[in-house]
Each structure stands twice: as structure tokens, then as C-alpha cells.
Structure 1
């Protein structure tokens, strides 16, 4: 049942297009949607029965806001902008990265065949994108061997290694006729456009000729090239007579979950497929529209000439926002491909259900065990902190993030503490918690559902005080270790030790979080300590000032590397020869002494 606040707001909703933002009890945005009619759409969340993720969303809504727009298109674009900004938990979040390599025939006097990550307006000829760097590199290597162009840097007065290997036409030592390049370029174009008959014929002739001359290793290599064509080109052929670059989207939905299948159609072939599965909040067609909008809104995402979608999707809206034709195939090969994409999505989703049953207890179930023992609402995101120092110096903190029981390393953070803390864990904790959650508060970003401190009562209460001063309400608990430095129990804000079953998934997750945050902060501290140690040693050398020290640290990174460097390498940094000689001499002596010390310790142990 909706609260009095929500009921009052529902009565004020306009019947106009716009975007709405659902908020939880902490005021953070947990879902962003769009609507052609805000009044009807937002009311439907509170006046209808729901299941699955939609029901979970509604149970967590404590307030909502909305923004009226002039059109459906504006609402669609605004929704996408807000999803990018707030990354709400209940919205779909793409894992896809839009940067895929192309094969380019360069527009040069002596053209080359290279991998390109972006399309440039240089009149070069591009093919792709390709699934990954490995697949593109394999295709490129194959073409270099069969239809060479230029692989060297140009004229150098003598044949390059690639020419000797038959992978370069020889621009390194001669004037290559344009006709030679054009002959191989035409063959490359045919090959990359799906016509492999010429390549198969050429390689077969060479293979049989090598075999007749009893050059069996060469014949075997040529045989493997034929297999490559069969595996990477022939098997991908789909649309024989239509080379328009297209992306095809379809989905399968069941039990409140949806799998989106994307086919990349290039040069008449199904070059690659992409699939993602997520729980639904909105209707399947609208979730797909939002997915496609995010899909092409990512950095380096390349839009094709045409996008194909299933019946029910608003093609006009997508076409206007993406500035690309969006169509629903009605018949023929493209319709068959649409059905094939749906079939693949169905198989993927059915497999997902089987895996969900196995993983539920290990991930979200484990998080629920932890929140249950703390007697706080179930959560989706935990943030854990730990500190490290060397007798009060080089004091650092680090944070790890676990979402739905799994680490999200993209959200990990490192902190160099700004205030002198000595060995005061309370001050260190207060500073890092203040810095972290002041930023989230000020930028209206998502709070975690639980903060875990790797320490005892001192860190726990310091974290709580920092949150109180910020006027931010987030549950805090401390992860306590036993006398063998192993995970033992949780300490809540009342100072009570709460014990989990050491054989439960919740305990295993707590152990993993504690080990992960400890590993992360120790590695960060070790790197910082190494840099600081190097810096202090260099400061002791006469003639080495701050600028020279920075140059040496950036160029070499360690004392042994400086010791091994030549005087010319050190002088090349703008350090005069006398100081360079002194640096090398001093650092060599330090490294030698450290090695001797290590050897002496080893002998003592033996």
C-alpha cells in the first residue's frame, strides 16, 4: 500500500510525457523510467499487482520525482542520461564495450593492411568490426601471408624480413607497381566480403604444387590456411547478396527475466553475437528500447547502416534518437535471422535459470544471511574498508565493493590519507569514510546497503561518527578476526558480537570480503612504500633535486633499474653527466649493499 506522501504525489501527476525517478528510504535513485503519460505509468506501480523484480522495486520505493518533457523522444533521451548518471540498481546495466577492431586497407602510396580501433575520415577502406583482437589478428595474419601489401616502414635500401617471408611486396627496396597492389587489394576485398573461392583456388594450387615437390611442411601450412577459411569465413556466411552493415536485436522473456541477443551482420555474414540477461521491471519492448539506446550511447560504439528489431518496438522513436534507420523484418533471410536470435536468447535464458538456482545461495543468499544476522534490510551492495601503514607513516586506506555477492572491481577505490594520523585508526577511519560518503551525498550517487570495516570497535564507532556528521544513514558493522588472524564474527553498532555458521555461505562471503579488502590495501601500500623509499634514497644523492628525482622515478621505477642503466640513459633525462655518474655510482652501491644484506640473512637462516 502506498504511503500518504506517495498518494498525494500521485494525485498531482500530469498526463504528459516525461521521465520519473523512484527513490528508496535514503533518497537515492533506484530506478529511472520514461512514460508517454506520466500519470498512468507511475500510478500503475502502486495500483497494480506485481511479481519478481518489479515487486521488489515497489517494495523499496519511498518517494519519487518526475520531469515533464515536450515529447516522447525527449523523455527517451532524458531517461538514458539519468541512467548513465545515477546507475540505478533496478535499471538494466550493460556489460558490452562498443570498441571492436576493424581491418583497414590504408589510403597510402604503398598501402598497408592494419588493425584499426576507430573509423577515420582518411578514405581508407574498412572491414568489420571483428569479435575480438585475436580473431581480427588471425584474419590479418592470414591475409598478410596470402595477399601481401606493405608490412615494413617503407624504403630503406634493402629487403625487409617480411619480404623474405613473402609477406611484403618490397616497398622497402623497390618501386612497387600500382597494379601489383591493386591485384592483391581486389583479392583481399573479395575475401573480406565473403567471396572465398579465389582464395581457396589459389591456396589449393600452391598446396598441391608444394606436395608434388615434396615440400610437406609448406603443404601442411597451406592445408591449415584452407581450414582457417572454412572455420572463420565460410561458417559465418549468412546473407549472400546483401552487404549492408546491420545490427539485429531480439529477446526472449520468461518468469520476469529477459535475455537480449544481438547479431552483428557485416559483409553478408554473422560476424559476432552478444547476449545479456537481466530481470525486468518495465515491459519487454520498452526494456529493449532502453537497452538499444544505452548500447549505442557507449564510448566508441559504432552504429551500423541499419538496425533490425522485433515487432512491438517503437521503431520511429529509436530511429529519431539514434539517427539510424530502425526496421522490423517481415520476410526472407532477415526474418529467419530474427527467429534465430530469439531461439538463441531462449536457450541462454533457460541455462540462466538453471545457474540461478545454483548461485542464489552463494551470492544474494549469502548477502541476506549477513543482513539477517545484523537485523537490517536485505541489500544488494556492500562496501568494505581497511587501512595500512608503516609505523604510522605512508598511511593509506582502500575500499572494495561487492554487489549481489560478487566483487565489482571497477568500483574499488584507494585513498592516501591527508591528515597526519600516526597510528590512530579512528582518525584514519573518520577521514576515509567522510571523504567517500560526502562525495556520494553531494553528487547524489547511490549509497551502499552496508559498510563493513576490517577492524574492531574503534573503526566501527569512528565510521558511525563520520556518517552522523554527514547526516548520512548507512548501517555499519565491523569484521572481527580471531587470534589466528582469521575471520571470526561481526560486530554491530551496539558492540555485540554476532556469529555466523562457519560453514554457511554468508560466512564464506564475509571471509572473502575481508581477505579481498586486506589484499587490496596491502598491495596499494606496498607500491606506495616502494615509491617513497626510492624517492627518499634519491633525495640523499647530492645534485638530485625534486625534478630530477621525478624524472628518474618515472623513467626507471626502481633502484636496480637505475643501477643497470647506462650513463647515456640517465643523462638523456636532462641530468648533467657529473650528476648522472654520481647517481649511477650511489645507486649501484645501495643495490649492492641490499643484495649483500639479503644474502647474509639467508645464510643466517640456513
Structure 2
């Protein structure tokens, strides 16, 4: 890459999730130079920093000071948010969405064989309009999606009227070819597909699925298996692209949704601005914990300062939704009423759409916190502090090991790797532990270390090995390392156990040095404590995720049989209406409750079965 980049994109990209969302690039602390959206934030942002990029991209990334992003429920919401942010900031490098042109629509024409088209302009044509869409790209992507799902024509009337044989789209199965002679049955099928498009664009997705399911069963019972197979494929394709929309005409939430997350000495409060049920903006506010006045409720203080600021005039919401309790919320409500003559409510126990937005705010807060923790300046300060604490120099590589299982079942060991810049995900490893007594964490630790270091002359040898556990796990690690590291030319790594404190509270951990058994106690404000806890927590997360995946894979064939109250008929209904066991496992409570014979309580039981530890 020819351009010089001061922005530490490698550290930043390690914190970006594979989720849909919108992102803003800044040239300094406050100036937005580019706004974009992505179906997968990590993949899209990574693409900017490839070796082979065009001159415009090189010019853009050479000016990046930092990047912020907001996770959304879907790519469509990300696009709406992108549009709002572009109109708000007018970024230098954005061109397509900065103007105020009319919004595009999809239209369904009238006549014997209706067609689906993209349209922009005044509503002068006699047809059915669906939209508006945030921009032309969104409308055209929707058009392409519909063409893959419903084989109705998208050609112009001029082309349609002058054809006498099927075109290429018909030959590849994306059009039923109404331009040539059709039988009565074929014509009825075409009108059914047109009606499905209409229902789909109106948001009646479940009605489309039910109708397709019924038609598939009718053809199957009539032994018309070819037609039944086509409907089955269409049904599965529709289920794959269907997602529960958080934005609908019935959803008119006007609220600020605020989630707070903390790690070590840093607090992140993330605010999602919801107006008329749509995310119009978001922002993360980072602060340091008050280590002097420990009685201070930082979250309540943030809410008070944020909503009593004069800059909030004119944009106050009707409702504030939080994931943490606020001390004396009635005082804040009264103060806002007195100062701005504005009435609002504050709540932290919400359901349905509000709960979805709150969950999304938590994910954004967590992502922003990870970015801060992975900041190169912060990482260097913590590494320096750890070296000083352990009387070491030049720490380049650290590893942490943790064991995860459920009552000894399907044990998984994790190995996470950190370097001087933070997490080194390319060297993360998971080990499936077999051949031991269930629940024997000591034997599991012995096995994972023997497998990891069976050939010490190949691969990376860490400077420090952290063990998430007590003196028993540490003793096991000491035995393995002493046995394997006998070559005087290979430096033996330092062993450090991280034992949990009283009540398992963060910040009360004790470090035990291998072989010497020296104990070290640090406060949560100490940078050395912060990096060790970061490594330990990441190892714990990685181990739990691996164990869940292994357990889910082992139980996939008998998953539904293990749920009390789910007999053969209900299993058949679940698999038929949702499309397969994987779809059942990934379905939400709302989606499960839509299946015939599945009540809301039963749906919650099924969901809990697949998502509990």
C-alpha cells in the first residue's frame, strides 16, 4: 500500500464484529469525511486496507484519524442510518447520498401479466408503489432479491410484447415466461407469484410462507413431486432471506436507548437515538471510573449531565430506556420538565421491540469498549506496567489457557494469544479434550499443554503463560513445562496463575508466580492488572464459545427429542414450517410461536433449550 497511514487499522479491525452496521471515518476528533454501511462490518472495513486499492481509496484512508461504527439489526437499517448520517455530516468523500433527490420505489404494473420495476419520480404511472427506499442501490438490491425469490417478469413492456420465445431469464429459472403462450395452470401460478411479491413487499412474509407450504403439500399429495420440489426450494430460499424487521409501520418508538458496559477502569455508555421506530444516529461516550469517590454512581451522573445539557434542547426523546437502574429517576424527569418544559419517562425493564433495541445498544457499547481496550497506546502502557511488575523486558508473546465443560461433558480447552498490540487472533487455538475423567480440570490442563508444546522447536514460544485457575492447575502446568522444556537453547516461559478473588468479583484476583509461588495483588486501576484480566476474560469467552459449539454439534440429531412436551407431531411441524433443525435452533421466540401447535410458553422453552449453557 503506497499511502502512508497513521491510523492503527490492524488493532482496530481486531475489534470489529461480523455484523451489519454503519461506519463513520474521521479526519480528526470531530470531522467526518466518509460514511458507509455494510452487511458485514469487519469484511467491509478490512477491504479498505488491502494492498490493491484504487487511488480514491488510498486518498481516503491516508486522512483517517479514527473510525466509529454502529451495529444494526439488518443491512437495510444500516442503509437508513447511513443516509441519515450523510445528510447530517455532508462528508467530503460521499457523493451518492448527499443530495435531496426524490426517493426510489419498486412498482408492480397492472395488466394481464404484471411486472416488477424500479421507479424514481412523481407517482404518475397507474400501478402499485412500494417504498420509498433510502437510495437507488437499496431499491435495486431489493429488486434483484425478489427476482431470485419470485420468478415474475422484470422486462419492459416493449420487450415483453415483441417476444415469441422465452428469454435467458426464463431459461435460468428466474422468470415464468409470460411472453409466450401459457396454460391455465401456468397462468394461475404466475398470478400466485405476483401476489406473493405484493404480500412480501407489504411485509406479510408469514402469509407467503404459509401459502407456499400449503401449495407444496397439495402437489406432494397429488404425487406432483417436481412442482412440490420447486415450491420447497422457493420456500427455503425465502426463509433464508427473511429476518424479523425491527422497523414497521406499527412501531413508533421515540426514545434514547442507553446501555453501559465497563471493563477494568473504562466505562462506555452507548446511546441509540430511535425516532418513529428507526435508528437515526448513535454515539459512544467513554470515561474513566472514579477511583477517588467510589460511592459515585457514574451511570446516573452521566444521565444527569447528558439530559440537562443545553445542547439537548429540541432533540429530547419521549422516553429514555436504560439497561441499568438510575438513582432517583423522578428527580431527573422533574429537572428536565422544569428546565426544558419537556415530559419524558425513564424505564429499564422493557420487552419486545424496546428489548431488541436495548440488546443492540449493549452490543455497540461492548464493541466501542473493545476498541478502547485494544488501542495501541493503551496496550503499550499496560505491557510496560506488566514488564515492570514481573521484572521482565521485551515481552512479545503471551498465552492464556482455560477449560470449559458442563458437568464434565464435552470438555474444550482454549488458548488465546496476545502480542504487544493486543489480541493475536491468528494464533488462537481450541482443543477438544477426550480420554480423561469427566470434570478433571487438572488432566485437561495436562493434555492441552502437552498437545500445544509437543514440538517446542516449531511455532511461537510465549514469554508468559497465564493459567486461569488456582494452584492445582498451576502445579499441573509446572510439571508439563518442566518435562517439555529441557533444551537449554529454548527459553522456558514464565507461568502465572490467575486465581479468583472473594465472591469471584473482578479486581480481587490474585496472581501466583510459577515455581516460586510468589503472590501478587493489584488494584483494578493498575495497567498490569487490566491487561491480565483482558487476556483472562478473552480466554474464558473463547473456551465457552468452543464448548457451546461442540455441545450443539453433538446434540443436533436428537435436539428436539430432548425437549419435554415436543412429540413427533410438534417436531414435524417445527421442521416443516421452519425448514430444518438448524433453522429451529436459530429461530427467535417470536418465530417459534408462529408455528402451529407451538404456544408462547413452549416457544420460550425451545429457545431456552438451545441457548442455555
Quickly name the TM-score band, shorter chain normalised. Answer: 0.3 to 0.5
TM-score relative to the length of structure 1: 0.36
TM-score relative to the length of structure 2: 0.35
Name which one, 1 or 2, has greater alpha-carbon Rg. Answer: 1
